[in-house]
Amino acid sequence: MRFLGMELGHPVINASGTFDAIAARRAFGDALLERFPFAAFVSKTVTLEPRQGNPPPRLWELAGGMINSIGLPNKGLAGYLEHDLPQLAELPVPLIVNVMGFTREEVGELVAAFAERDEVAALELNVSCPNVETGMIMGADPRETAALVEHVRPLTRKPLIVKLTPNCTSPGDVAAAAEAHGADAVSLINTLRGMAFHPRRPGVPWLGGGTGGVSGPAVRAVALAQVAEVRARVEVPIIGMGGVQSGRQAWDVLQAGADVVAVGTESFRDPMAGARVAAELRETLAASGIAPAADAVRREPIPHNA
């Protein structure tokens, strides 16, 4: 299928930050390249300057998923270009680079730098990380999002995907603002802000960052409702994600209005989850007499109360 100018072998990709392709290549060698689980690879968020990330502990397991407070550890733009990009360019699928800045200008610098790189097929703007120390999330406000997209749009001809937050009043308003100012696609959902307390120290937050982002099956119903809400507001393609563990659940995300599905938290349990979900999705579609997946995507808005 074609998606944002990329040729995808199937409609399942990864959610940013949930699959470390460089570590996986070290662990599995070239077998990873022969059986890469995703149709495109979205890399972990890159910031302009290197970051250590949040203090530990960074993870808390829930009955229906987990809470992370990773805090964007990364090598920064220069480190990414020198160390990560050459390795990620060897993957057998298109590369989507996820970037985040603390100001519009910072995001602009990142976008302009990647605009030059042929290895990069598309850019995802992370306006939705719940784990930044400022607590400020550009993607919670349609006007901030509009101003950001307007600022970076002239800096690249590559497809721009805006990663939306569920932690706002109206993801539909934010998506519409992104589309109106030049976004080529939107992706959702990022994690829902949550917290957990230390099991032996009453009242003390477990996570080093205090709060974190909830992901996994616990957020699947929220993701479906938000994808449906956004589908009713925009024409651009949607990358839908949130708690998908099976082909049947991926099909639900497509039914809600997504064009492509991302697998996130499930890859921590099974690094090949993306390939399994893609195979199950193919079977689900074949069993219902619908194929290929891209033609099956529901176009008309489905009822919702947003």
Residue type, position 147, single letter: A
- Tokens representing 105 are 């200008």
Q: Per the omega criterion (within 30 degrees of 0), is the bond before 189 cis?
A: yes
Of 129, 137, 168, 176, the active-site residue reads 129
129 noted as active-site residue:
yes
β-strand 192-194 against 65-68: which pairing, if any?
unpaired
Q: How many angstroms separate the CA atoms of 277 and 12, rounded?
A: 7
The residues, any chain, with a CB within 8 Å of residue 48's CB and separated by 6 or more, are 76, 77, 101, 106, 109, 110
Measured CA distances, 24 to 30, 228, 268, 271 (Å): 10, 33, 11, 8
CB 250 → ligand RRO: shortest distance, Å?
A: 20
User: Among residues 11, 65, 130, 240, which is the contact residue for ligand RRO, using CB under 6 A?
Assistant: 130
Find the shortest distance in angstroms from Cβ 131 to ligand RRO: 4
Q: Is 145 in the site for ligand RRO (CB under 6 A)?
A: no
Which of these, 285, 218, 273, 214, lies nearest to 246 by C-alpha position?
273
CB 238 within 8 A of CB 254: no
* From 39, 72, 121, 297, residue interacting with ligand RRO (rule: CB under 6 A): 72
**Least spacing, CB of residue 264 vs ligand RRO, in Å:** 9
Backbone angles phi, psi at 262, to 5 degrees: -110, 140
Considering only residues 1 through 60, tell me which ones interact with ligand RRO, judged by CB under 6 A. 17, 45
The single residue among 113, 125, 129, 138 that binds ligand RRO, judged by CB under 6 A, is: 129
According to CB under 6 A, which one of 94, 159, 172, 213 is a site residue for ligand RRO? 213
| Cα gap 134→113, rounded to integer Å | 25
Contacts 24+ apart (CB under 8 A), 82-86: 84/22, 84/43, 85/117, 85/119, 85/120
Q: Is 249 in the site for ligand RRO (CB under 6 A)?
A: no
User: Is residue 70 part of the contact set for ligand RRO (CB under 6 A)?
Assistant: yes
Q: By C-beta, is 85 or 219 nearer to ligand RRO?
A: 219
Binder to ligand RRO among 14, 68, 249, 265 (CB under 6 A)?
68
Cis peptide before 159 (omega within 30 of 0): no
Could you give the maximum distance between any two Cα atoms of the chain, in Å? 55
CA pair distance 136, 144, nearest whole angstrom: 11
From candidates 65, 71, 101, 247, binder to ligand RRO by CB under 6 A: 71
* In the complex, residue closest to ligand RRO by CB: 213
In whole angstroms, give the CA distance from residue 20 to residue 73.
Answer: 13
Q: Which of 190, 226, 249, 267 binds ligand RRO (CB under 6 A)?
A: 190
Does position 165 interact with ligand RRO (CB under 6 A)? The reply is no
- Quick check: 126 binds ligand RRO (CB under 6 A)? yes
Minimum distance from CB of 145 to ligand RRO (Å)? 15
Minimal distance, residue 187 CB to ligand RRO, in Å: 11
Say how many residues touch ligand RRO, by CB under 6 A. Answer: 15
d(CA 136, CA 225): 24
**131 forms part of the interface with ligand RRO (CB under 6 A):** yes
Taking CB under 6 A as the rule, does residue 166 contact ligand RRO? no
Give the catalytic positions in this structure: 129
Interface residues with ligand RRO (CB under 6 A)?
Answer: 17, 45, 68-72, 126, 128-131, 190-191, 213
